Structures are given as C-alpha cells and as structure tokens.
Structure 1
Amino acid sequence: MLFSSLQAGALTLPNRMLMAPLTRTRADAGHMPNALMAEYYAQRASAGLVITECTMVAPGTSAFNAEPGIYSQEQIEAWKQVTAAVHAKGGRIFMQIWHAGRAAHPAMNDGHENVSSSAISIDGEVHTPQGKLPNALPRELRLDEIPALVAAYAQGARNAIAAGFDGVEVHGANGYLIDQFLRDGANKRTDAYGGSLENRARFLFEVLDAVTAAIGADRVGLRLSPLNSYNSMIDSDPVALISFLAERLNSYKLAYLHVMRSDFFQAQKGDVMSPARAHYKGLLVGNMGYGLEESQQALAAGQLDAVAFGTGFLANPDLPARFKAGAALNAPDASTFYTPGAKGYTDYPTL
C-alpha cells in the first residue's frame, strides 16, 4: 500500500510516503531560500509529496531567525530554484505557509511586537540573536486586524504558486497562530473568535476560504496537532476539537488533512486519529512515529490514506527506496537539525 499511487487533489502521488515539514533554519539573511535548500529538497524528491519547512507569510513574524519567507518578490524568485530542482527529479512539492503568532519574538523581528488570539505568553525561554530571552507576552489581536492576516495567507499561497510550487499546506499545528486560536488553552477571547469550537475555528476557516479561493482547494492541505503541547499548548478536549474540525473540513474538498497523532513531550495522550478518520471523508495523512510496518498496517486497515515521515526523510533522502529494499536506515543527528551549512543537512548517504 505504501508504494501505491494516490490522487491528492490536483496531484497524482507516486507513493503514499510524504515528507513532513521540518524546520531546518538554513535560509539566508532576509529569510531567503538558497541553493543549499534546493539541493536538500531535490535529494528527497522521491517522496510522494515533499512539504517544505514552515514559511513566513508576513515580515516581522520570525520564530527561528533563519527560516524562509514567501512575502516578497525576491523570495518568490529565490524559491524557483528549489521547485525547479525538485521537479527536475520528478518530484512534487507543497509549501507550508505559516504565521508564528506569539512564538515570533520581538528580538528576532527588529522589535516588531508579537500577536496572538489572547495575551498569554509561551512558557520558558527562546534563543534569539541577543541570546536566551524569556518568551515575549503577545498582544491580543483586535478584530479589525484579522482580515489582513487572512489576506497574508492567501497572498502567501499565490506567491507559492508563482514560485513554482504544486500547492500549499496551511500550518494549523504546533502552537503557531492558527493553533493559538483553535485551542482553548491559548484562546481566552470572548468575541466571535473565542469560546465555542465554532468561534475558535473561525480564523482557520477564514484562512482556508481565502487560500482555497486564491489557488483552488485541490492544491491546499492542512496540518493539525490537537494533542501536541509544544509551545505551551493544551486543549480541554482535543478529541472534540479534531472531531469538529474533521467534520467541517469535508466541505472544503482539500487535497489532504495532515494530523499529528501525538505530543512531542508526551504530556497529553489520547487517540485523535480514530475520530479524524471517522469524521473526515477526504484524504487523511498520519504523522509522528510511524515505521514501515505500522504504516502498512494502517493503510491496509483504511485508518490512513498516506503517512508523513519527518526525521525518517531528514536522515534518509532515499527513504522510499530503503523501505522497498528493506534496507537499514541512517540515524538522524539531532545536533545538526538547526545548525547552518551542509553538515547533517545534505550529507546523509543514499543507498
């Protein structure tokens, strides 16, 4: 099953192994994509679909300092080398479009204030160009500011298509802006964007309305992480949240729904994949900790339609070939996940 083709919206995928979005902080100054990134993604073009790292839809929203952007003409031009390199290898590539919300520290953004659904900061400290600093308290977004944010996602999607991408994945996971609206641990609003599931999901659906109108729903995916506590996230009822979202997302006819099934820190536990499958009629992608055997079983049982592999693809540019051959896998080197340069990025060996 893992090696069979799959129709994902406008694309025919040659296999059901997606490369999950992975922050790698190799962009140049000004959040510019570069030739090293083109090499990295092209090496992994045998994935059924490559999904890029989170990419800024607006300036002043950096959470990692060296992540790429898609809000300027220069960035669009620079991304063209990446998409051309992947397409030259016969691959397909989506860009993950993203706004960090409260995770964007002013010290990384020339003092630009960070914003969120509510004025609640992430716990702990963050690495900035000025060293380790406490996470900054965000300003609660005003109602009149929300339409411009929605428009930034739509423009980011248009820019991605202009740069040669086959589509976009809307980042609704891991405690960034959309997720900050979705989960009640971060969203304490009392207006139309807070309280009920319907209200907390309003911003997500406005973004999806705008992005699908901009480039077509068949070129749009969505990633969610109802359990992940990364960035100090929690929800009082993650199963109800994913059930509600999965049901409502059917009307969008997206290319896929990409669900992270667990919590990086194991602080929150539960089964969110079963309700996602029960309620979502479209193409469902599972992610986090799937190996070859479990992936095959999940696909055979109809629990998933595809599987996204993160560190598997990070350390094994030829992961599909390795799986097919039953070959050993390279181990990922966590010490180089976010360091500059080719080491631990483009130097993992192929078979």
Structure 2
Amino acid sequence: MTFKLDGDAALLKPIQVGATTAENRIFMAPLTRSRAQSDGTPSELAAQYYAQRASAGIIISEATAVSQGGNGAYVNTPGNYTDRHQEKWAEVADAVHDAGGRMFMQLWHVGRMAHPEISGVESVAPSAVAADMSAHTPTGKKPLPVPRALGTTELAPIVEQFRAAARRAVDAGMDGVEIHAANGYLLHQFASDVTNRRTDAYGGSPENRARLAAEVVEAVAAEIGAGRVGLRISPGNTAGGMAEVDTVGVYEALLNRISALDMAYLHVLIDPSAPEFGTIRALWSGTLVLNTGRNVDTKFCQLEELAEWGVIGAAAVGRGFLANPDLIDRLRVGAELNEPDVATFYAPGPVGYTDYPTLADLRQPESA
C-alpha cells in the first residue's frame, strides 16, 4: 500500500495540543505490545521502540496501569505505580525527546477485564457483571471471573491512583497523559448503562455514570495541568464484551462537565460515519483526535479530508506506526508501507517490535 501526502497537507501541519506543540497531526495510537517485565516495568527495548517512532506528532504510549489491581487483562503489560516503573519510563521519555518527539502516557485501570492469575488480586468493576470473555493467563486460556462490585468508598482511592500515576508520568519526563475511558475497561464499564447497575451516586443517570471518569480527569488536571491531559472515549464500542443502550447521553454528561477545563485533547475511537461522532464533535470545542479503528487506520485519504475540513484536529494511527517506524517520511514521499506481522504483535523480543525496516535501512548497501 502507498499513499502520498502533499507538502501542504493538513495532517503534516503543526498543531498546538494544550501545552505541547506537535510537529504534525498524525499521532501514534496506544498499542498494547505485551513486552513489559513481569512486574510491570517497561522492557529494555521500550526506549528504542518508541524513539524509532518519534516523528509522530505525539506518541501515545501503550496502556499503562495505575495500580497492581488495575493491571492484569493481559500478561506483561506495563504499569506506572512504582519507582522502578517510573525510572524505566524516564528512559523512554528521554529517548523520545532526544529523537525530537513528544509523548503522552496512556493510563488505565482494566476493571473486570483483569484475571487474578495475571494481576495477583481479585478483579473489580462497577457491578458484579462478568465479561463473557477469556484471558490468556500464565497457565492457559481461562474465562474471566465475576468481578467484585466496588464499594462507594473505594472509588476515591482509584481516582488517587490515576492522579499519582499522572504525577509519576510527568516527573518521568512525559509531555502529558491520556486517561483511558474506552474499549471496555473500568471507566468505560462505569459509563455503560449495561455493565453499571449501581444505585449510588455512580450509577443510574448519565451524570452519575460519567462521574468517575470526570473525577479522574479533574484530579489529574489539577495535579499536572489540564493542558497535559487527554481523554480517550469510544461511544458504542463493544470491545471487552461491552454494550451500551444509550451511546450518547453519558458522553454528553461527561463532556459537559469537563469542557471548561481546557484539556489538551479528546481522543475518540469511532467510525466517523456513525451518528454518535457528529454528536460528540458538536459537544467538543477543543482539539479532537480521531481513531477510526484497526481495520482502517491507514486510510489516510479520509483522515486528510477530515483534517483539511477542520472536522478533526489530528488522527491517531496504530498499526501503520507499528509496522512503519518512519511512517511520516513514507507518507511524505509516497513510499510503500510495511505490512504489520500479526503473529508478532504480542510476542516477546525484538522481532515485530524494533526490527521493522525504515527507508534508510532499505537504502543501505548490502555487506560484502
């Protein structure tokens, strides 16, 4: 596949994203790679992997847990809740900055998607509603258990975990953080009128179901500055066994509550032809980052049109960056794009991680 962006393409123009100046509007989407160490510390290859992709307008890191209990959906995913985690993330941030890039850390709590054999603790959720899915645990594939419903007094400590992880991220040198409230994880579970069956202040009405995500955003913004905070949502997304009858009301309540914060951006995972997208776009006056999903994230013609028309501020691209560390250079000249190797997405080691060739690699003469 090839696609060339002209020199005056909207996607190649700089954009101010809160406190960060992005050199272009093609962001690297968060990509779980399952290559962290068993304790959640990023791997020794992480700095190289991210630095290779520093030409992205902003790199959004793989989802990173805010606590041990917030991890455990997949093996070997990273965290940012210990000094060791922070020290290794500082190496990543330094490598990206040395390569001229900018980077936000995506923060998550996986909620009911955790399996105790991976996390080491019981799984929790807004309500005792299990996801009809299985997890790949160290001892094989097993069904996800029924999670324990969180008590009302347990929610403030979760907000604090997000705040503390954001503080660590910025102290490690990250340019900002993205709060993950999408794809079937804890904050999305609270937003859903199917998985959230609570009768307290965090359940029932759209405003109540949006409360936890709003409180997390507000706490993180107060800690590191709203201009360093992004939020990811995915209205109507069924990832993680999710379902939502009302795919608009809770997001309207959430965005109405946080809109005055002047955040860095809103990252929306959605098909732009979906009716929910028009509603969200009308509600959000700040920078909107669009992610169209794994199957179309390399359809740059559509993304360029949306950016040119001012519908979106930037686009988040996943697999395109995974397989093409120099994606921006390739788009500038219309070079052939590497195809991602699905078999190596979550495999350990450098293969399919740091060994995808760049145009510069291809121009190197073969050794005698």
Query: Taking structure 2 as the reference length, what is the TM-score of the superposition?
Result: 0.91
Match of 1:127 among 127, 130, 136: 136
Residues 30-109 of structure 1: matches in 2 within 5 Å? 30-60=39-69, 61-109=71-119
Instruction: State which drifts further: 248-257 or 205-214.
Output: 248-257
Aligned to 2:277: 273
In structure 2, C-alpha distance between the alignment counterparts of 1:292 and 1:156, rounded to whole Å: 34
Residues 188-199 of structure 1: matches in 2 within 5 Å? 188-199=197-208
Residue 94 of structure 1 contacts residue 169 of structure 1 at CA under 8 Å; is this kept in 2? yes
Instruction: State which drifts further: 123-132 or 195-204.
Output: 123-132
Aligned to 1:282: 286
Residue 326 of structure 1, CA deviation: 1.4
In structure 2, C-alpha distance between the alignment counterparts of 1:103 and 1:145, rounded to whole Å: 18
Match of 2:236 among 227, 239, 250: 227
Aligned to 1:266: none
Q: Deviations over 1:81-127 (max 9, x none)?
A: 111110000000010011111111111122x1110001000103211
Residues 86-235 of structure 1: matches in 2 within 5 Å? 86-110=96-120, 112-235=121-244
Secondary structure of the corresponding residue to residue 259 of structure 2:
helix
Residue 168 of structure 1 contacts residue 221 of structure 1 at CA under 8 Å; is this kept in 2? yes
The alignment covers a number of residue pairs equal to 345
Secondary structure of the corresponding residue to residue 238 of structure 1:
coil
Residue 262 of structure 1, CA deviation: 4.1
Secondary structure of the corresponding residue to residue 141 of structure 2:
strand
Query: Taking structure 1 as the reference length, what is the TM-score of the superposition?
Result: 0.96
Structure 1: gaps (5+ residues): 264-268
Residue 11 of structure 1, CA deviation: 0.5
Structure 2: gaps (5+ residues): 1-9, 360-368
Secondary structure of the corresponding residue to residue 49 of structure 2:
helix
Residue 322 of structure 1, CA deviation: 1.1
Q: Percent identity?
A: 48
Q: Deviations over 1:170-222 (max 9, x none)?
A: 01011111111011121111111011110000001111111011100000000
Aligned to 1:341: 349
1:260 aligns with 2:264: no
Which structure's CA Rg is the greater one? 2
Residue 248 of structure 1, CA deviation: 3.2
Q: Deviations over 1:44-103 (max 9, x none)?
A: 000000000010110133211201110001111111111111000000001001111111
Q: CA RMSD in A?
A: 1.4
In structure 2, C-alpha distance between the alignment counterparts of 1:46 and 1:27, rounded to whole Å: 23
Q: Deviations over 1:3-54 (max 9, x none)?
A: 0000000011100000000000111121111330111100000000000001
Match of 1:310 among 318, 329, 333: 318
Residue 261 of structure 1 contacts residue 271 of structure 1 at CA under 8 Å; is this kept in 2? no
Secondary structure of the corresponding residue to residue 95 of structure 1:
strand
